[in-house]
Amino acid sequence: SKHCLAGNTLVRMADFTVKPIRDIRVGDWVLGADSCGKTFAVQVVNTFNNGQRQCYKTVFRQAYLQSAEESKE
């Protein structure tokens, strides 16, 4: 796999709780998303341990929605 995650990376579970990825097991239900951003429950069918590799930290900017009324202020 080209993509690795640190063991403490938090995963959103299907019940909206979070769990470190190292604790995810086959049969768990996580929250998945399609290319449009629609979310849905997905059952874990496999896990991978690729050993220790270099990890990169990715920070996503926070976004918010602004109503038309708010934009007039």
How do residues 25-36 score in pLDDT, each as one tens digit? 999 999 998 888
Query: Is the pLDDT confidence value at 67 over 60?
Result: no
Residue 25 contacts residue 44 (beta carbons within 8 Å): yes
Distance spanning both ends of the chain, measured CA to CA: 49
Residue 41 contacts residue 17 (beta carbons within 8 Å): no
Instruction: Determine the 3-state secondary structure of 69 from DSSP.
Output: helix
At 1 the pLDDT is: 45
What pLDDT digit, counting tens, does each position of 10-63 carry?
Answer: 999 999 999 999 999 999 999 998 888 889 999 999 988 777 777 667 776 666
Q: pTM (2 decimals)? A: 0.64
At 7 the pLDDT is: 83
At 44 the pLDDT is: 96
